[in-house]
């Protein structure tokens, strides 16, 4: 592969002899040496992970793998139970050699829009039945089996409401409007903006928008002329 041998030694030293201790309620666990994994927060860890899992690939063109750290998703768009079963077993085989697959944390979700239950056979991995769920939280977004994103909308709403509660409390004190706006942008708008596409798909966006607007009217940054008004003078204006 023509990799500089010094770089290989550097990576080897970076990965080997890593220790881990857990602190809980002031008590320490024993000191353990880690045999797998890469330290979080370093720039090289994601690259190493990508290299490590490079050969974990789908052998079926209609089976899509999404790999994100220890969260792997396999999407089946084929019309054959045998093919998905074959693919899952080939994935489980890869895991046996390289990463531990925890079957109790593995879930199956069938996406279907018709009424009634689909007839797909239950999945088994390492002689354990994989639990079938109706919604699944993947990378912070709750995906439901009818792709309504209703639960996801509710979760965003409740998260935003918690932060709006703090904003209302802060307004009782002589806090600068710019500070309130920064808080709003960081904790409320970041949630609604990031998840905007998921919110749009759901029936929830209007409700989320209205409830947020009602509980905390604030000028949008597009109107700097109002930005310096006292807090109680804010008008209802949202970037939805
Ligand atoms: C854990 O053990 C290793 C070697 O056994 C040692 O080098 C390291 O300092 C220990 N870490 C702590 C925090 O005690
Ligand atoms: C894979 O998807 C097809 C629909 O495209 C479905 O008929 C089949 O039952 C699925 N297989 C499994 C094991 O879910
Ligand atoms: C698998 O996950 C479950 C649920 O989080 C956990 O209780 C169990 O200890 C895990 N098993 C292994 C082998 O890590």
DSSP 57: -
Which pLDDT belongs to residue 207?
61
Whole-number Å distance between alpha carbons of 45 and 68 = 12
Give the pLDDT mean for 185-205: 70
- pLDDT-derived band at 15 (thresholds 50, 70, 90) equals very high
Which pLDDT belongs to residue 216?
52
Is the per-residue pLDDT at 211 higher than 80?
A: no
| Residue 104 Cβ contacting ligand 3 at under 6 Å | yes
Which pLDDT belongs to residue 198?
61
Nearest to 136 by CA among 73, 181, 212: 73
Give the closest residue (by CA) to ligand 2 atom 11.
81
Which pLDDT belongs to residue 209?
61
113 C-alpha to ligand 2 centroid (Å): 14
Give the closest residue (by CA) to ligand 3 atom 9.
102
Residue with more model confidence, 149 or 220: 149
- The pTM assigned to this predicted structure is 0.67
| Residue 23 Cβ contacting ligand 1 at under 6 Å | no
Name all residues whose Cβ lies below 6 A of ligand 2.
76-79, 81, 84, 120
| Residue 102 Cβ contacting ligand 3 at under 6 Å | yes
Give the closest residue (by CA) to ligand 1 atom 2.
31
- pLDDT-derived band at 202 (thresholds 50, 70, 90) equals low
Is the per-residue pLDDT at 27 higher than 60?
A: yes
- Per-residue tokens: 220: 């949008």
Kindly give, in sequence order, each residue whose CB lies less than 8 Å from that of residue 153, ignoring residues fewer than 6 positions away.
198, 199, 202, 203, 204, 205, 207, 208
């Amino acid at each position: 592969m023509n990799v500089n041998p010094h770089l290989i030694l550097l990576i080897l030293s970076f990965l080997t002899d890593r220790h881990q201790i857990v602190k809980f309620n002031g008590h320490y666990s024993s000191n353990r040496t880690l045999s797998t994994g890469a330290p979080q927060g370093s720039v090289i860890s994601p690259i190493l992970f990508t290299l490590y899992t490079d050969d974990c690939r789908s052998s079926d063109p209609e089976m899509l793998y999404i790999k994100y750290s220890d969260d792997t998703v396999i999407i089946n768009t084929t019309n054959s139970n045998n093919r998905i079963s074959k693919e899952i077993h080939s994935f489980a085989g890869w895991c046996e050699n390289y990463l531990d697959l925890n079957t109790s944390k593995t879930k199956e979700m069938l996406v279907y829009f018709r009424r009634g239950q689909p007839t797909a056979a239950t999945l088994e991995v390492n002689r354990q039945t994989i639990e079938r769920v109706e919604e699944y939280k993947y990378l912070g977004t709750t995906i439901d089996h009818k792709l309504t994103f209703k639960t996801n909308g509710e979760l965003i709403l409740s998260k935003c409401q918690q932060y709006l509660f703090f904003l209302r409390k802060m307004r009782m004190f002589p806090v600068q409007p710019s500070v309130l706006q920064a808080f709003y942008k960081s904790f409320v708008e970041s949630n609604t903006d990031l998840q905007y596409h998921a919110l749009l798909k759901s029936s929830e966006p209007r409700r989320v928008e209205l409830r947020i607007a009602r509980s905390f009217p604030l000028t949008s940054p597009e109107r700097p002329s109002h930005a310096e008004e006292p807090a109680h003078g804010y008008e209802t204006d949202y970037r939805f």
